[in-house]
Amino acid sequence: MFKPYLFAGGAVYRFNPQTSFDNGWVDLQPLGTEGQGLPGYEAPYQLTQFSVPFGGGLKFIINDTWAIGAEFGWRRTFTDHLDDISFAEVNYLDVYDGNGSLAAMFSNSLITGPENGDVTYNRGGEFTDWYMMGGITISYFLGGSGYSSGGGKGLIGGRKRGKDIGCPTF
């Protein structure tokens, strides 16, 4: 028996964009690669954000105690910095002078240094970032699934709900 389902909700997540450099990893948010924190630029972005997850799945009930499922969902975020790249207009010399040569190099690796002059550019696209998740699950139902063909209404796997299957009662 197949059971399709949909889901939606709210979520809080934490992220930390990094890049590989000099045999290690460099956190990009503290560098301000788009001039964050400098006069005339945005404040540094927050690494903890809110998202709206939604999607659907399909569960295949094998028997009274086992099921296999597949699920896919999208996460609508409210930031454009999951990859440390947004649609901000950036001036290379501002980043170089205000946040340092490492921030400037990661901001635009095509520019080799301040001697290239006063260069302004956009780093990304106009849309905010999204992410997606998918998975396959194997489920074991304690006390039966409730999908048994016998048993009738109010029964789980042909057994009564409550005390008879070890559930706590008050």
In a domain, 133, yes or no: yes
Q: Would you say residue 100 lies in a domain?
A: yes
In a domain, 86, yes or no: yes
Return the pLDDT at 144. 59
Tell me, yes or no, if the pTM score tops 0.85.
Answer: no
DSSP H or E stretch at residue 96: helix 92-99
77 found inside a domain: yes
| Local mean pLDDT, 10-residue blocks, the chain (170 residues) | 95 95 95 94 95 96 93 95 91 93 91 81 86 95 61 47 54
Q: How many domains does the chain fold into?
A: 1
Instruction: Print the domain residue range for 48.
Output: 2-165
pLDDT value of residue 152: 47
**Is residue 102 in a domain?**
yes
Q: Distance between CA 165 and CA 170 in Å, rounded?
A: 15
Strands (E), the chain: 2-8, 11-14, 18-21, 24-27, 48-61, 66-77, 89-91, 120-122, 130-140, 155-156, 159-160
pLDDT at 168: 59
- Please report the pLDDT score of residue 162 as a whole number: 47
Pair of tokens at residue 94: 């501002």
170 domain-assigned:
no
What are residue 37's phi and psi, to 5 degrees?
A: 90, -10
What is the longest distance spanned by two Cα atoms in the chain? Answer: 80
Question: What is d(CA 77, CA 94) in angstroms, rounded to the nearest whole number?
Answer: 28
Please give the pLDDT value at position 14. 96
Flag whether 88 is in a domain. Answer: yes
Note whether residue 21 is domain-resident. Answer: yes
